[in-house]
Amino acid sequence: MSVMREPLVRVKYGKWSQLFLGLVCMASISSPQYVWTLLAKPLTAKLGVGLPELQVTFSLLIILQTFFSPFQGRLVEKYGPRLLISLGTVMAGLSWVLAARVNGLAALYLVYGCLGGLGTGIVYIGVVGLMVKWFPHNRGFAAGAVAAGYGMGAILTTFPIAISLSSYGLSQTMTLFGALFALVGLLASQGLSLPPEAPARQVPPRVAQSHRQFRSSEMLRQPLFWLMFMMMAMMSTSGLMVTSQMAIFAEDFGISNAVVFGMAALPLALTIDRFTNGLTRPLFGFISDRIGREKTMFIAFALEGVAMMLWLACRESPVLFVLLSGVVFFGWGEIFSLFPSTLTDTFGSEHAASNYGWLYISQGVGSIFGGPLAALLYQHSHSWTAVFSSAITLDFLTAGLALLVLKPWRARFIRQNNAR
């Protein structure tokens, strides 16, 4: 497959402007996923359906966003990031505008779940793939910054959407904000472009990078890729085993009605979690650009495991519950900066979007198995200790794999390919 080079807007904006525009595009598509919880109740009332049937919509959104990402990445590389990311932002916004007018569950599945999932997936994969090309020496930071835009963009929209829902109702709110998201994303994406061709520069020795550009078909034949896939799936699963059940075990721990610093403990914890989950992505990405990917993985993954151990041990203290929840999210969100940068360092940047599309499926694996696995363990053991213990084991196991297996294997792989 040939990679299309966009001839326009190539040098109009520098790399920091590209990063800002990419962050805006990511923020414009964050609400379909992160604000879904505000829409669930009014949608069940409007459509006259139960919550389990309605939640299929959200599952479709995640499945279409993650499991179709290799296809979306190939489209971005074939037709160029500006065109496809523009299309993706419009699709994501349009999913809300159309969902405001549906009167049946099947139509909601189609427009919110399928159209929204495909649109957000195109933008996510396209923006991350573009940023690792613009920042060859700071890939961890760049990937983390735009991933933070996706995670934290909803912070700007959650309260306005909540107010609008109570004041103007579901249909007007989804129409207004859907159109706004599409407009903002479309305008921001017009400035996106591929970086100019530049002469090869000396790569800092602290971050080894492959000179060979692997196509997805070549990458998928490398066992090293599947190690990365397994590790990201393990971290995604471990994090979601706990975070997806947070409201439930908070009630079991007697925390849900507690007050911390003058605020309800659970909403305060969720607010802190969003900030730390966003902050960790560029921060650990920045650190990995300096001390190496695998060392940073070991620190971050082990940090999450330790935080989960303390979280469980201190479950009766509302203050520690709130603070440690932030540390847990701080040790989890960095997978969205460390893995794409590690992948691009290893298999090259030319096919970064489609290559990361294949790796991003591992996030879908975690989304499918994390919550149900936790619920199953709790159902059979009647204890959250089993759930936390499983997640902690995955954290420490993945940390060990990063330092003891991935690091030497990847160094040898890059050295062998660069010697050819």
Those residues whose C-beta lies under 8 Å from the C-beta of residue 353, and which sit 6 or more positions away, are: 72, 73, 74, 76, 77, 81, 125, 126, 128, 129, 130
Lowest mean pLDDT across 38-42, 137-141, 194-198, 280-284:
194-198
Average pLDDT value over all residues in the chain? 88
* Over residues 395-407, mean pLDDT: 97
Strand partners, 259: 264
* Over residues 189-212, mean pLDDT: 75
Both 230 and 171 in one domain: the answer is: no
pLDDT of residue 4 exceeding 50 = no
Model pLDDT, residue 333: 84
Q: Is residue 251 part of a domain?
A: yes
Both 143 and 57 in one domain: the answer is: yes
Model pLDDT, residue 12: 62
The burial class, CB within 10 Å (0-12 / 13-18 / 19+), for 408 is exposed
Lowest mean pLDDT across 72-76, 197-201, 261-265, 304-308:
197-201
| Band of residue 80 on the pLDDT scale cut at 50, 70, 90 | confident
Q: Is residue 1 part of a domain?
A: no
| Band of residue 59 on the pLDDT scale cut at 50, 70, 90 | confident
Tokens of 17: 């402007």
Both 143 and 273 in one domain: the answer is: no
Q: Cα separations (Å) of 348 from 16, 190, 203, 220, 309?
A: 21, 26, 13, 14, 37
* Over residues 3-10, mean pLDDT: 46
Both 250 and 161 in one domain: the answer is: no
Both 241 and 105 in one domain: the answer is: no
Both 185 and 222 in one domain: the answer is: no
Both 134 and 282 in one domain: the answer is: no
CA 168 to chain centre: 31
Domain count, the chain: 2
Q: Is residue 210 part of a domain?
A: no
Alpha helices in 135-245 (DSSP H): 139-168, 170-189, 216-219, 223-243
Q: Is residue 95 part of a domain?
A: yes
Tokens of 324: 């440690």
Tell me if residue 165 falls in helix, strand or coil. Answer: helix
Model pLDDT, residue 1: 44
Cβ-defined contacts of 267-274 (< 8 Å, 24+): 268/322, 269/321, 269/322, 269/325, 269/326, 270/246, 272/322, 272/323, 272/325, 272/326, 272/329, 273/243, 273/325, 273/326, 273/328, 273/329, 274/151, 274/152, 274/154, 274/155, 274/329
Of 189, 224, 251, which closes a domain? 189
pLDDT of residue 56 exceeding 70 = yes
d(CA 342, CA 345) in angstroms, rounded, equals 5
| Band of residue 37 on the pLDDT scale cut at 50, 70, 90 | confident
pLDDT of residue 10 exceeding 50 = no
Model pLDDT, residue 256: 73
Q: Is residue 203 part of a domain?
A: no
* Over residues 229-234, mean pLDDT: 96
pLDDT in tens, 146-174: 988 887 787 788 888 988 998 999 999 99
d(CA 322, CA 266) in angstroms, rounded, equals 7
- pTM (predicted TM-score): 0.85
Model pLDDT, residue 9: 44
Both 237 and 148 in one domain: the answer is: no
Element (H, E) at 53: helix 51-67
Both 395 and 304 in one domain: the answer is: yes
Q: Is residue 196 part of a domain?
A: no
Closest among 29, 16, 80, 62 to 353, alpha carbons compared = 80
| Band of residue 248 on the pLDDT scale cut at 50, 70, 90 | confident
Query: Taking a C-beta distance cutoff of 8 angstroms, is the pair 254, 316 a contact?
Result: yes
* Over residues 335-348, mean pLDDT: 93
| CATH number of the domain to which 134 belongs | 1.20.1250.20
Tokens 């499918």, residue located = 368
State the residue range of the domain holding 63. Answer: 15-189
Model pLDDT, residue 8: 41
Q: Is residue 292 part of a domain?
A: yes
Query: Taking a C-beta distance cutoff of 8 angstroms, is the pair 116, 91 a contact?
Result: yes
Tokens of 311: 């979280």
Query: Taking a C-beta distance cutoff of 8 angstroms, is the pair 256, 318 a contact?
Result: no
SS (H, E, C) 337-362: HHHHHHHHHHHCCCCHHHHHHHHHHH
Model pLDDT, residue 206: 67
Identify the residue with better confidence: 270 or 359. 359
pLDDT in tens, 360-382: 999 888 888 887 888 888 888 88
pLDDT of residue 243 exceeding 80 = no
Tokens of 140: 């961890």
Query: Taking a C-beta distance cutoff of 8 angstroms, is the pair 143, 84 a contact?
Result: no
Both 344 and 267 in one domain: the answer is: yes
- Length of the chain measured in residues: 420
pLDDT in tens, 183-196: 999 999 999 998 88
| Band of residue 137 on the pLDDT scale cut at 50, 70, 90 | confident
Q: Is residue 241 part of a domain?
A: yes
